[in-house]
Structure 1
Amino acid sequence: MATYKLLILPGDGIGVEVMAEVEKIAQWFTKEGIAAFEFEKGLVGGCAYDAHGKAISDSDVALAQAADAVLLGAVGGPKWDGVPYDVRPEAGLLRLRKDMQLFANLRPAICYPALADASSLKRELVDGLDIMIVRELTGGVYFGEPKQIIDLGNGQRRAIDTQVYDTYEIERIARVAFELARKRRNKVTSSEKHNVMKSGLLWYETVIALHARDYKDVECEHQLADSLGMQLVRRPKQFDVIVTDNLFGDILSDIASMLTGSLGMLPSASLGEVDQKTGQRKALYEPVHGSAPDIAGKGIANPIAMIASFGMALRYSFGLIEAADKIEKAISSVLDKGLRTADIKGEKGDAVSTSQMGDAILAALQTA
């Protein structure tokens, strides 16, 4: 039985609560002899700032580098609104992405049939929805330099953020998208703003050249990011794999997440390059939702996105495809039975707690 080292970073708010449900499931997989998981725990976000004066410590970054995969809950909250910008809770997540070179962010947007009525769109538009958004994660405007605010005098200031991409960064994220599409419905939609941005023009030209050179078997289309946002709420099932830059990926994936009914349903994976010697890659898995400080500590948060993020770790880091499929089927089974946390309950029925939802998914796994 293979043994894998997991670094657990629950973070802030509901991150602690939803991570506890993942630990139950990982321990069950170990007990069943499917794989053994060894846990280490660290701090990231506001709790790390409280403990160390920074959003993540050097020692916890070292643990992340050494782990087979990192599971992260959520970071941030109003408690830390006044801390310096460089040590804000989100800086811990950005450092992990940068230091671990996690350039590829995979965000599936799946609408389970049982939740189609929870979407803000009509059932026929989202029932059976299955989109994968591939977001470039370590370049673009979030990391480009210069990034600063300049005092111009006379009460005026100027803010500068720089959008920067090199050809290799665009090629490697596009390759991830094309390879994923080959295992899905064989269609990639590349999105940027080449009509008004030079970085968008380079993105557009690079993806066209890569497609013609190496991926002619995959259907490839191009849409401007603003138009794609409109199409996501107009006819979302036309898409299979969407590949885009850091900024637009952040925006478009949040739009796609609401098609499914709740941010509490959606996992994500952030992946690095495959090591040519070991065949392994650095990886971090986290739910798309935030720390939800308004409901933290109440035991009502939805753990499904966190559990599904662990399922992505089984699939992409450990090659445990059957185990990952079992988690997805268990989630679907529980939803089919009508169990709902508060965020997906709607106006009918009673909501189950965080731990009750986790227990129900675990029970479905045990009887699968």
Structure 2
Amino acid sequence: MPSLLLLAGDGIGPEIMSATKRVIDYLNTKGAGFETTEGLVGGAAFDAVGTPYPQDTVDKAEAADAVLFACVGGPKWDEIKEYEMRPEAGLLGLRKHFELFANIRPAISYPALADASSLKREVVEGLDIVILRELTGGVYFGEPKTITDIGNGQKRAIDTQVYDTYEIERIAKAAFELARARRGKVTSMEKRNVMKSGLLWREVVEQTHKQGYEDVTLDHMLADAGAMQLVRDPKQFDVVVTDNLFGDMLSDIAAQLTGSLGMLPSASLGAVDPKTGRRRALYEPVHGSAPDIAGKGIANPIAMIASLGMALKYSFGMNKEADALDAAIAGALDEGARTADIAAGGPTVDTVGMTDAILKQLDLRL
């Protein structure tokens, strides 16, 4: 049976994961056969067992076919000074442990929400792009990473941007293969004008393109110019591939094009295990833990539910179910279901209401 580890985490995590469990339960009535387990991560894990990254959670993730991850963090844990004890270390630890190097972040503008974007309808209507972010290298993991006292009341902070050839090559290959299944265009973004890692990034992406991917169009763009182009003319892009730091920022820009962070799912994929044939994978919404609305039952569950949809496609080959779930989300929006973040002042439904609307639409399609 296919297995999922559910990590609700902090803030609105338990609420949106509860909504997603309802979808999993529905899919099981249609024969999906999912077995689910649950674990602790982030601040919730720190409170319970003294670490945001418990070994028990790692063991459960090892045993599962894929991980569904909600969100971690919040002001409750802001005073924790040790980097490895902060809630976010739980997520980063999972990414690093399982070498989840390819972060796929689609940005799709649903027709019913084209007016929810801060940009003009004609700029975003029909938008369908993907930000492919390298996830296990770069400045977030590079060493040294320190804050040191240098005397005279001064401190020095150091973060190190590090990339090896193989890290760039494998994310470039993933980008070209993803583009082949879409519109056949990759835009690589870096800062080669001021960063040595940017020079290597472009060189390796170019070399990889020549290794049998010439059928895919390859463009290059400086990351800051790319950020400007994303809000000027986002539909010029198909697949954008970039490093960990720039991918973090550019994908949040892409989120605003869709109207809300609450709309964006993501998939973090590792290499295929040659022994098992299984690809390590973690699926999560792009948004954070939203502590200001946690416990109020009003969070938008769409990004979490859509992350399950990505799991159906990438981990389980359930393309029919994945397409039906995507269509159900669009159908619920077409019927007028809106949580507060996408309501633009109109009538709203709560988390349960949005989930009800999606399940109603899903039942029409399966």
State whether TM-score is above 0.5.
yes
Task: Name the structure 1 match of 2:350.
Answer: 353
Structure 2 gaps, min length 5: none
Task: Name the structure 1 match of 2:229.
Answer: 231
Task: Name the structure 1 match of 2:64.
Answer: 67
Partners of 1:135 and 1:58 in 2: how far apart?
Answer: 27
Q: 1:367 and 2:364 equivalent?
A: yes
Task: Name the structure 1 match of 2:147.
Answer: 149
Q: 1:42 and 2:39 equivalent?
A: yes
Q: 1:53 and 2:50 equivalent?
A: yes
Task: Name the structure 1 match of 2:183.
Answer: 185
Q: How does 1:10-25 map to 2 (within 5 A)?
A: 10-25=8-23
| 1:129 equivalent among 112, 127, 130 | 127
Partners of 2:142 and 2:93 in 1: how far apart?
Answer: 14
* CA positional deviation for 1:68: 0.3
Partners of 2:256 and 2:291 in 1: how far apart?
Answer: 19
SS in 1 for 2:3: strand
SS in 1 for 2:267: strand
Task: Name the structure 1 match of 2:324.
Answer: 326
Structure 1, residues 109-144: CA drift from partner, whole Å, max 9, x if none?
000010000000000000010011100000000000
Partners of 1:359 and 1:303 in 2: how far apart?
Answer: 11
Task: Name the structure 1 match of 2:100.
Answer: 102
- Which residue type is aligned with residue 119 of structure 2? L
Partners of 1:53 and 1:87 in 2: how far apart?
Answer: 8
Q: 1:286 and 2:287 equivalent?
A: no
SS in 2 for 1:73: strand
Task: Name the structure 1 match of 2:77.
Answer: 80
- Which residue type is aligned with residue 20 of structure 2? V
| 1:257 equivalent among 251, 255, 258 | 255
Sequence identity (%): 67
Task: Name the structure 2 match of 1:344.
Answer: 342
- Which residue type is aligned with residue 10 of structure 2? D
SS in 1 for 2:203: helix
Structure 1 segments (4+ residues) deviating >2 Å: none
Q: 1:203 and 2:204 equivalent?
A: no
SS in 2 for 1:214: coil
Task: Name the structure 2 match of 1:6.
Answer: 4
Task: Name the structure 2 match of 1:32.
Answer: 30
* CA positional deviation for 1:5: 1.1
Partners of 1:265 and 1:64 in 2: how far apart?
Answer: 25
- Which residue type is aligned with residue 224 of structure 2? D
- Which residue type is aligned with residue 239 of structure 2? V
* CA positional deviation for 1:278: 2.3
TM score, norm. by length of structure 1:
0.98
* CA positional deviation for 1:97: 0.3
SS in 2 for 1:213: coil
Partners of 2:99 and 2:33 in 1: how far apart?
Answer: 26
* CA positional deviation for 1:275: 1.3
- Which residue type is aligned with residue 354 of structure 1? T
- In terms of mean alpha carbon deviation, does 168-177 or 273-282 score higher? 273-282
Partners of 1:139 and 1:215 in 2: how far apart?
Answer: 24
Partners of 1:208 and 1:293 in 2: how far apart?
Answer: 43
TM score, norm. by length of structure 2:
0.98
